[in-house]
Chain A
């Protein structure tokens, strides 16, 4: 499949819907799965106040296309470049200053799991399954999964998932704080869209951006610095609101 066919990006009312579009398993063709400029210009559409990421069909994504990855690994420099690019893409999503919800059905493995971890809120179906199977191929997650998972689940649970390659179900993922909501399979998209629409529809985009940006500073910056940035953002909004 061609790289820029993998992500379907649509505007739906005030939300941007990003669909992993390589059914049935939505394998990710290459780590640099979309053109950066295309992603950025989509996220900058002023109508969009929130993002939902989901998979086409029954599954979220089964992860990387191993055949492509194997041929890519013959050229270590190309592989490294491609992974760096892919990480940048996920960082662009995570740091878009818009709330991002992953709506996860069925299988969510490896690179698919890493895409889901770049969201801020994760909704999944009762039958969703999660794993980092990279270890079974003497590999590890290449798009930040081993860095982000411990932040959510703690080092102990993250180690067990990453070293065993074991698959966990929705309940287990929720108990590890990886998942925020579990809903029936049929309702995953509707629930995610409605929840996010409720959160953002009455808010100006610049207010949403200020709040999300400040939340993202938590844990990244020392508290004193993050407080100063928060107060700066607040003052800009307050001057606006008072005009």
Chain B
């Protein structure tokens, strides 16, 4: 159904797999397909949980500026076109965040920029030992544009969030765990199985479909 996403349902769990290995770059088509999936398909699927991961060695390297800038448009229009595109990305991330079922991201390898932003909109984050997470936008004289400044601040508090976003430094899984950005570290071979087992254990406890899951405290 999609080119950039492998979407399938197994045992009532939705698998949202970023499917452009090796880097699973989030290009324009990916965000269009993500919008369709999160706006039209997932809300109408009777899922008990959503699991997000990347095909191959990495979660995703994120988006590149060339993917969202329309170089053929005039400067004034170009800014508006970009804003419209990014607003669609925001909508997709919010759709994920507000799902009334648990959303788990399983993170292997690199998870940078928009990819890191996306996993911060999931409810649980499990990562492999060698995972690398970060918001490097500032090193290009940019900033996170799809929720990074909000979600990281909510997760870390102002001080740490400011340090991480102004430095642009990425962090390894261990540090992410100590900062409570990542909830658990699992070997990469067991990451998906662990995530599915976790989902199996908690999903039944959260059958109150009308209460957005993000409003419920769990871990």
Which A residues fall within an 8 A CB radius of B? 99, 120-122, 152, 177, 180, 198-200, 203-204, 207-208, 210-212, 214-219, 223-224, 226-228, 230-243
One of B7-15, B160-168, B183-191 contacting the partner? B160-168
Q: Whole-angstrom distance between the alpha carbons of A210 and B82 in the complex?
A: 17
Instruction: Please judge, given known A-B contacts A211-B149, A214-B149, A215-B153, whether A230 and B144 are in contact too, CB under 8 Å.
Output: yes
Q: Are B166 and A235 in contact (CB under 8 A)?
A: no
Residue on B nearest A231 in the bound complex, by CB: B86
Q: How large, as a class, is the contact surface on chain B?
A: 35 or more
Residues of chain B with a CB closer than 8 A to A199's CB: 162-163, 166-167
Min Cβ gap A178→B in Å is 10
Q: Are A239 and B75 in contact (CB under 8 A)?
A: yes
CB<8 Å pairs between A and B, sample of 13: A120-B159, A121-B162, A203-B138, A207-B138, A214-B143, A216-B158, A227-B150, A230-B148, A234-B142, A237-B141, A238-B65, A238-B69, A241-B65
Residue on B nearest A226 in the bound complex, by CB: B150
Residues of chain B with a CB closer than 8 A to A122's CB: 159
Question: What string of 1s and 0s marks CB contacts (under 8 Å) between B121-149 and chain A?
Answer: 00000000000000000101111111111
Choice from A152, A198, A210, A238 contacting B68 with Cβ under 8 Å = A238
Choice from B75, B142, B147, B160 contacting A180 with Cβ under 8 Å = B160
Q: Are B153 and A236 in contact (CB under 8 A)?
A: no
Q: Whole-angstrom distance between the alpha carbons of A217 and B150 in the complex?
A: 8
Q: Are A203 and B141 in contact (CB under 8 A)?
A: yes
Residues of chain B with a CB closer than 8 A to A234's CB: 86, 142-146
Residues of chain A with a CB closer than 8 A to B142's CB: 207, 234, 237-238, 241
Q: Whole-angstrom distance between the alpha carbons of A228 and B69 in the complex?
A: 18
Residues of chain A with a CB closer than 8 A to B149's CB: 211, 214-215, 217-218, 226, 230
Is B193 located at the chain interface by the 8 A CB criterion? no
Q: A230-B149, A231-B86 are in contact. List 4 more A-B contacts (CB 8 A).
A: A121-B162, A218-B158, A238-B65, A238-B142
Min Cβ gap B173→A in Å is 22
Q: Are A233 and B79 in contact (CB under 8 A)?
A: no
Q: Whole-angstrom distance between the alpha carbons of A224 and B147 in the complex?
A: 9
Q: Whole-angstrom distance between the alpha carbons of A26 and B102 in the complex?
A: 52
Is B27 located at the chain interface by the 8 A CB criterion? no
Question: What string of 1s and 0s marks CB contacts (under 8 Å) between B75-109 and chain A?
Answer: 10011001100110010001000000000000000
Q: Whole-angstrom distance between the alpha carbons of A224 and B95 in the complex?
A: 11
Min Cβ gap A62→B in Å is 24
Q: Whole-angstrom distance between the alpha carbons of A72 and B29 in the complex?
A: 65
Residues of chain B with a CB closer than 8 A to A216's CB: 158
Q: Whole-angstrom distance between the alpha carbons of A240 and B141 in the complex?
A: 9
Is B21 located at the chain interface by the 8 A CB criterion? no
Residue on B nearest A180 in the bound complex, by CB: B159
Residues of chain A with a CB closer than 8 A to B165's CB: 211, 215
Is B43 located at the chain interface by the 8 A CB criterion? no
Residues of chain B with a CB closer than 8 A to A219's CB: 153-154
Q: Whole-angstrom distance between the alpha carbons of A212 and B162 in the complex?
A: 7
Residues of chain B with a CB closer than 8 A to A211's CB: 138, 143, 149, 162, 165-166
Q: Whole-angstrom distance between the alpha carbons of A150 and B160 in the complex?
A: 18
Q: Whole-angstrom distance between the alpha carbons of A243 and B159 in the complex?
A: 32
Residues of chain A with a CB closer than 8 A to B69's CB: 238, 242
Instruction: Please judge, given known A-B contacts A198-B167, A208-B166, A239-B75, whether A231 and B146 are in contact too, CB under 8 Å.
Output: yes
Question: What string of 1s and 0s marks CB contacts (under 8 Å) between B47-84 and chain A?
Answer: 00000000000000000010011010001001100110
Q: Are B146 and A233 in contact (CB under 8 A)?
A: no
Is B22 located at the chain interface by the 8 A CB criterion? no
Choice from B65, B143, B163 contacting A242 with Cβ under 8 Å = B65
Q: Please give me the 8 A-B residue pairs with the lowest Cβ-Cβ distance, nearest first.
A: A234-B145, A218-B153, A214-B149, A199-B166, A121-B159, A231-B86, A180-B159, A211-B143
Residue on B nearest A195 in the bound complex, by CB: B163
Residue on B nearest A202 in the bound complex, by CB: B139
Q: Are B158 and A120 in contact (CB under 8 A)?
A: yes
Q: Whole-angstrom distance between the alpha carbons of A157 and B78 in the complex?
A: 49
Residues of chain B with a CB closer than 8 A to A204's CB: 141
